[in-house]
Amino acid sequence: MPIAIIALTLAGFAIGTSEFIIMGLMPEVASSLKVDLPRAGLLVTVYALGVVIGGPILSLATASISRKKTLIGLLMLFVIGNLCCACASGYSTLMVARVLTSLCHGTFFGLASIVATDLVKEEKRTQAIALVFMGVSLANILGVPVGTAIGQALGWRSAFVAVAIIGVLALFGLWRFLPRNLKQQPVSVRNEVQALRHPKVISGLALSVLCNASLFCLFTYVAPILGQVSGASPTQITYILFVLGLGLTIGTYCGGKLGDRQMLPWLTRLSLGLIMVLLLSYFALPHLNITVALLFLWSIIGFAFGPMLQMLVVKHAAEAPLLASAFNQSAFNLGNAIGAWISGTLLAFGTALRELPLAGAMLALIALLLALSLSWRQKHASEPSR
């Protein structure tokens, strides 16, 4: 893989750390700002909604700017947003700062996916996308556990300062290694919108929403679940987050490999596997060791979807991929927002933390039915008519 893709991976690491670190620090943030867990969980929801809204708008607004300048500018916005998070004086200002940080997310990953596929041969494209998304997975291995430890030791604000520093290093990497002469075709808003109407693009976007909603029903409150249901100490939670991050990395890598082979059959198998793991987790949560093993498997399966669904959307919007790619990032984060909202709403109405995996399993079941439908349509479309 070209070293320019590694620079994109580093930037993805910074953005992924910023997005997910709030999950590890949620008890500390809630206590510091004097809000309950459901309100603290809204910090995940508003970030995701910022990606949903900002991604498509900024993608079209920056379409005429060179791709290298756009990626660097987006990462500068990211650094400023994290510094604002660190300086936030209260819950409302932190909410606004999270939205500011999120605006670059969808456009960055959408454009980075396109740039990555342009830098490699056709048979390596899903793997190139997976490597970009690997930054997010590595964020969960290193960024979130280390950031959580920093936040617990020095205060949660210090974690956002550390993320901003990583963002500055990523900025240098993009400036130094991204080629200036990246492919860039004239963007037609009409063609971009028409590409979104392709049935497989629509199905891919819907799957992205459902899969991430299922994940974030559990992921948003993973720290309090581990602490209050499984009996993990704060130090143990930090180590468990490291284990989950390792699973996310393995899942992203496997998703890239599988996506270059049999994409739709594997989407179906992964959806079924996700349901089974979530149902088992409901029964296992009071037992810490079994819970960690199941969550490790859950993280592998859950994050294998990312590169496969991104490639599915980009592939079927090949004539006008910019908006479709950004919309898929919006779909991922709309799923994040929906999952976090569903979990927060259930908790507000008295649902126990232990029951959140069941909500995730219901959403994964809907994703399975959609994947089966998409696979069935492709199979019958490829059969010769009689």
Residue 223 contacts residue 343 (beta carbons within 8 Å)? no
pLDDT band at 366 (very low <50, low <70, confident <90, very high): very high
**Which pLDDT does position 385 carry in this prediction?**
45
Residue-wise pLDDT for 70-108, tens only, equals 899 999 999 999 999 999 888 999 999 999 898 888 788
Mean pLDDT value of segment 196-206 = 79
**H, E, C per residue of 208-251:** HHHHHHHHHHHHCCHHHHHHHCCCCCHHHHHHHHHHHHHHHHHH
CATH fold group of domain 3-179+191-382: Growth Hormone; Chain: A; (1.20.1250)
pLDDT, greater one: 141 or 361? 361
How many angstroms separate the CA atoms of 353 and 360, rounded?
Answer: 12
Contact residues for 366 (Cβ-Cβ < 8 A; gap 6+): 210
Closest CA to 75 of 157, 169, 178, 158: 169
Mean pLDDT value of segment 162-180 = 88
How many angstroms separate the CA atoms of 57 and 110, rounded?
Answer: 12
pTM for the full predicted model: 0.72
Residue-wise pLDDT for 323-344, tens only, equals 777 778 788 878 888 898 899 8
What are the domain boundaries of the chain? 3-179+191-382
Amino acid code (one letter) for 231: G
Residue 346 three-state SS = helix
**H, E, C per residue of 32-96:** HHCCCHHHHHHHHHHHHHHHHHHHHHHHHHCCCCCHHHHHHHHHHHHHHHHHHHHHCCCHHHHHH
Mean pLDDT value of segment 226-255 = 86
Mean pLDDT value of segment 156-173 = 91
Residue-wise pLDDT for 103-137, tens only, equals 888 788 878 887 887 777 776 777 777 788 788 77
pLDDT band at 221 (very low <50, low <70, confident <90, very high): confident
Residue 24 three-state SS = helix
pLDDT of 288 above 90: yes
Mean pLDDT of the chain: 83
**Which pLDDT does position 183 carry in this prediction?**
65
Highest mean pLDDT among 120-134, 282-296, 304-318: 282-296
